[in-house]
Structure 1
Amino acid sequence: MNLKKAVQIGDIFAAPLPMNKYGAVKVMNIIDRSYLLGITSYIEGKLPTIESKAVHQTLITESIADGLRKPLLEWVDGKLPKELIFIENIPLTTNEIGVESNIYAGNWSKECSMEVYYEWRRKTDPEGFELEMKRKIEEADTYARRHSIPKPKKMMDDQVFWGIISLFDLGKKNEEEMVEFAIKELSTFTAWQIRHFEEALSYKLFLLDTIEHAKEIGEYCFSEQNQAFSPDLFLYARCAVVARGQKVFEDILSNPKKMLKNTEFEILLSLSSEAYYLKKRKELEYISGCSYETFSNREGWLEEL
């Protein structure tokens, strides 16, 4: 039973795994309600202790992006899962202090240590593990096709989000000058708050992604007769709506016939990445829960799809 009241950097938690085994994670960093977890190499049929050697070793896995083997570190949000068991607090080592990761694993769940189980299965029963994974992928794909409804991840508070949007100077002729103040303001937030802004932006664009809105964008509107309809232009038209602020967005969301005509604002899509680069001097790598790409809102295009 987990009796830990407040999670601290250095906390070690045991996590349940299949086949009556346990894994372990170590809290490497905390920002607001987000936690950076180091997935350790521990996997046994009993609870770990601080004497367990593998608890002090972060699992090394191969990166899909570059093929290099790296320590597995993941950011998670939310509350400590009740299924996790507090073991002890072990202060960070010199090598652990300041470690970073751009991997976001969603809400903190009891399965936060599953990767060590997968690694163990790959080594001890590669054929059986491959068959099991294929079966799970097929089941997940079937379920997704029938039931999947995109859901946003953690988003920035609406008041803060629209406050940043209100900094656009739409009177400028140059688009980069229009968003300059908004980028500078957003760059003062934490890295994860910038991701939360991107999530909120993606979700609002996703909500506008409907056939009814696409029919009202002007010259390149969607219709069976108009072969000039462009999914990209429709995305940029939705950006223009969000750029006009909360009142315009909510009005057009509820009444597609008020959709802005022959207007676009593509630069909105780069706001988060520009702010993130200004803050961290590196590229923003983030996948939102709801895609803003045209046709992603399947219910909004149900008539056509």
Structure 2
Amino acid sequence: MNSKKSVQVGDIFATPLPMNKYGAVKVMDIIDRSYLLGITSYIDEQIPTIESKGIHQILITESIADGLEKPLFEWVDGKLPKELIFIGNIPLTTDEIEIESNIYAGKWSKECGIDVYYKWREETDPQGFKLEMQKKIEEADAYARRNKIVKPKKMMNDQVFWDIISLLDWSKEDEEAIVEAAIKELSTFTAWKIRHFEETLSYKLFLLDTEEHAKEMGEYCFSEQNQAFSPDLFLYARCAVVARGQKVFEDILSNPKKMLKNTEFEILLSLSSEAYYLKKEKELEYISGYSYETFSNREGWPEEL
């Protein structure tokens, strides 16, 4: 939907929200391919315009860290989501230029303005919102039960797996460039070996799928009070752990308190499919024995399941 070729400081984008509503975010700062977004207080069924009152006000939310109410600013990485709608540019005020934030929200997605929806739901229908969040957890639970382990499948040799992961090039800024060498190396293996890699990756993500690890993931950690917990974001946070290599993975697996904070690496999930396509020029069709979806590890979520 957006027609922007390049994002600039001061750009305002409308964001799609549940229940046929729209929010808006403002770009406050840009460093390389990272963007500091101000989540505005706008929420309505109409796409905002540059004159809409709410886009000139940053959403005030309660900080999970210290319980204080603060304006919501967060860093995101990656490309401008195609679902966002450019509505104009409002130059930063003197106060806005000085804004700093250490909140990292991961990959820039169409859900970047979701916090205004959560706050609106809490204020207008707290009981309904609580039920909505419970339903999401129950749906994830049902998915996990449907995809529970029946029989683990053949995995790749562990050292070979970690050798491939070690090819991730963290000197690159673009995620696709980071994984390029690993994808090329994996594509030199047989089609079945690529499936074995996928099974190994799924298993390691499955092992990290525990309540204790989810409680230590940072701003959007799992807790009864934090209704903004996202099963998808926790999956991407687990991807970041595996992507950092064997030593980091084993250290965090044994000590959840060392879980990486406020970071994600969703693109790791595409390694097998990209390598398979590079080799066979067709899509990878494979269902792993271990499900990496959040709440799949029944032993890791005893109270939730």
Match of 2:246 in 1: 207
Q: Per the alignment, in what secondary structure is the counterpart of residue 95 of structure 2? A: coil
The amino acid across from 1:130 in the alignment is K
Question: Residues 13 and 209 of structure 1: is their aligned pair in 2 closer, same or farther, counting only changes over 3 Å?
Answer: closer
Q: CA deviation at 1:30?
A: 0.5
Matched, 1:156 2:170: yes
Q: Give the conservation status (yes or no) of the 8 Å contact 1:84–1:110.
A: yes
Match of 1:116 in 2: 116
Q: Distance in 1 between matches of 2:114 and 2:70?
A: 17
Q: Give the conservation status (yes or no) of the 8 Å contact 1:155–1:200.
A: no
Q: Distance in 1 between matches of 2:2 and 2:263?
A: 31
Match of 2:130 in 1: 130
* TM-score normalised by structure 2 residue count: 0.52
Q: Provide, for residues 27-63 of structure 1, a one-character-per-residue CA deviation record: whole Å limited to 9, x for no partner.
A: 0010111101000000011111121111000000000
Question: Residues 41 and 155 of structure 1: is their aligned pair in 2 closer, same or farther, counting only changes over 3 Å?
Answer: farther
Q: Per the alignment, in what secondary structure is the counterpart of residue 94 of structure 2? A: coil
Q: Distance in 1 between matches of 2:127 and 2:139?
A: 19
Q: Distance in 1 between matches of 2:122 and 2:97?
A: 30
Counterpart pick for 1:286 among 252, 261, 273: 261
Q: Distance in 1 between matches of 2:17 and 2:52?
A: 17
Q: Provide, for residues 203-242 of structure 1, a one-character-per-residue CA deviation record: whole Å limited to 9, x for no partner.
A: 466435899xxxxxxxxxxxxxxxxxxx57xx9xxxxxxx
Q: Distance in 2 between matches of 1:45 and 1:114?
A: 14
Q: Distance in 1 between matches of 2:55 and 2:80?
A: 19
Q: Per the alignment, in what secondary structure is the counterpart of residue 29 of structure 1? A: strand
Q: Distance in 2 between matches of 1:201 and 1:80?
A: 21
Match of 1:32 in 2: 32
Q: Provide structure 1 residue ranges, at least 5 long, that are not aligned to the other structure.
A: 159-198, 212-230, 236-268, 270-284, 291-297
Q: Give the conservation status (yes or no) of the 8 Å contact 1:17–1:23.
A: yes
Alignment of 1:59-208 (within 5 A): 59-141=59-141, 143=143, 156-157=170-171, 202-203=241-242, 206-208=245-247
Q: Distance in 2 between matches of 1:86 and 1:205?
A: 35
Task: Give the structure, 1 or 2, with the largest relative contact order (CA under 8 Å, sep 6 or more).
Answer: 2
Q: CA deviation at 1:130?
A: 0.8
Q: Provide, for residues 118-159 of structure 1, a one-character-per-residue CA deviation record: whole Å limited to 9, x for no partner.
A: 111111111111101111123235546858xxx9xx97227x
* TM-score normalised by structure 1 residue count: 0.52
The amino acid across from 2:60 in the alignment is I
Question: Residues 141 and 208 of structure 1: is their aligned pair in 2 closer, same or farther, counting only changes over 3 Å?
Answer: farther
Question: Residues 200 and 108 of structure 1: is their aligned pair in 2 closer, same or farther, counting only changes over 3 Å?
Answer: closer
Q: CA deviation at 1:21?
A: 1.0
Q: Give the conservation status (yes or no) of the 8 Å contact 2:106–2:264.
A: no
Match of 1:273 in 2: none
Question: Residues 129 and 201 of structure 1: is their aligned pair in 2 closer, same or farther, counting only changes over 3 Å?
Answer: closer
Q: Distance in 2 between matches of 1:132 and 1:201?
A: 28
Q: CA deviation at 1:98?
A: 2.4
Q: Distance in 2 between matches of 1:208 and 1:45?
A: 48
- Identical-residue share of aligned pairs (%): 64
How many aligned positions are there?
A: 184
The amino acid across from 2:95 in the alignment is N
RMSD over aligned Cα atoms: 3.9
Q: Distance in 2 between matches of 1:204 and 1:124?
A: 41
Match of 1:51 in 2: 51
Q: Per the alignment, in what secondary structure is the counterpart of residue 96 of structure 1? A: helix
Q: Distance in 2 between matches of 1:89 and 1:97?
A: 15
